């Protein structure tokens, strides 16, 4: 019976923070770190940090904590950052270009090898060292290069058909930057990266603090 311990999403979201903090500590020459210390730096509960670390399989030592080096490696391994995945990006607009230009994804095991667009003026050009290819050839290229990750940065109305093409090409995971829901078979992982979501949280919380600070009362 297969038994992969699936990691809770809230945990996964915290892990990159740990990697970042630990990397800074490592550069400072720190050799070991306790969950207490991590928790204080990141304003979390220390038990929560220990639980999260548990997911990586690393065990610590009383009084000392965890070895920074080993912990970083285990976290990166758990997040699969040590295995580089090639990916295609579809939609070479301003958002697409920004993503192509961001160097940090390499560090997370993501290598964008080509972009696709249906604009003839863009096809054949190179953006941030990444070639822009013809959208109509997307499926074919996916299959030929065994691409497993597709990044969707096309306008909302064409997001679904883009996803369909990727899936026909054999893609297993889609990072969707369009605001639209896309329907996929269950074996395809879809992660929504929507800044509006994050902005919504920011603006709502700002309002909530404003309202509570001023002690305004809402009806009912």
The DSSP annotation for 26-64 comes to: HHTT--EE-HHHHHHHHT--HHHHHHHHHTTT---BTTT
**Residues 51-80 contacting DNA, CB under 7 A:** 51, 53-54, 59-66
Q: How far is the CB of 34 from DNA (least distance, A)?
A: 4
Separation of CA 186 from chain center: 19
Binding flag, residue 113, a copy of itself (CB under 8 A): no
Shorter beta-carbon distance to a copy of itself: residue 63 or 104: 104
Binding flag, residue 63, a copy of itself (CB under 8 A): no
Strands, sheet with 173-176, edge to edge from the N-terminal-most edge strand: 126-127, 130-134, 110-117, 85-90, 149-152, 173-176, 189-192
Binding flag, residue 26, a copy of itself (CB under 8 A): no
Question: What is the per-residue binding string for a copy of itself in 66-105, x denoting contact by CB under 8 A?
Answer: ------------xxxx---x--------xx-xxx-xx-xx
Q: How far is the CB of 54 from DNA (least distance, A)?
A: 6
Best CA proximity match to 114, nearest among 95, 127, 101, 104? 127
Q: Where does this chain touch a copy of itself (CB under 8 A) — which range of 61-69, 133-141, 161-169, 211-219?
A: 211-219
Binding flag, residue 9, a copy of itself (CB under 8 A): yes
| Residue among 24, 45, 82, 155 that touches DNA (CB under 7 A) | 45
Q: How far is the CB of 101 from DNA (least distance, A)?
A: 32
Q: Where does this chain touch a copy of itself (CB under 8 A) — which range of 59-67, 134-142, 161-169, 172-180?
A: 172-180
Positions touching DNA (CB under 7 A) are 8-11, 34-37, 44-48, 50-51, 53-54, 59-66
């Amino acid at each position: 019976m297969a038994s992969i311990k699936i990691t809770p999403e809230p945990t996964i979201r915290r892990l990159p923070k740990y990697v970042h903090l630990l990397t800074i500590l490592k550069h400072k020459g720190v050799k070991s770190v306790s969950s207490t210390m991590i928790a204080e730096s990141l304003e979390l509960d220390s038990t929560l940090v220990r639980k999260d670390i548990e997911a990586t399989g690393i065990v610590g030592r009383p009084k000392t904590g965890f070895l920074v080096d080993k912990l970083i490696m285990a976290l990166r391994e758990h997040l699969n950052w040590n295995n580089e995945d090639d990916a295609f990006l579809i939609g070479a607009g301003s958002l697409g270009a920004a993503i192509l230009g961001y160097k940090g994804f390499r560090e997370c095991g993501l290598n964008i090898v080509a972009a696709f667009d249906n604009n003839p003026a863009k096809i054949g050009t190179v953006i941030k060292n990444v070639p822009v290819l013809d959208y109509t050839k997307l499926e074919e290229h996916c299959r030929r290069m065994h691409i497993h990750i597709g990044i969707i940065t096309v306008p909302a109305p064409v997001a679904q058909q883009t996803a369909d093409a990727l899936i026909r090409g054999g893609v297993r995971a889609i990072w969707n930057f369009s605001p639209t829901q896309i329907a996929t078979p269950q074996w395809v992982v879809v992660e929504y990266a929507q800044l509006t979501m994050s902005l919504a949280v920011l603006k709502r919380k700002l309002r909530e603090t404003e309202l509570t600070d001023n002690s305004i009362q809402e009806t009912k």
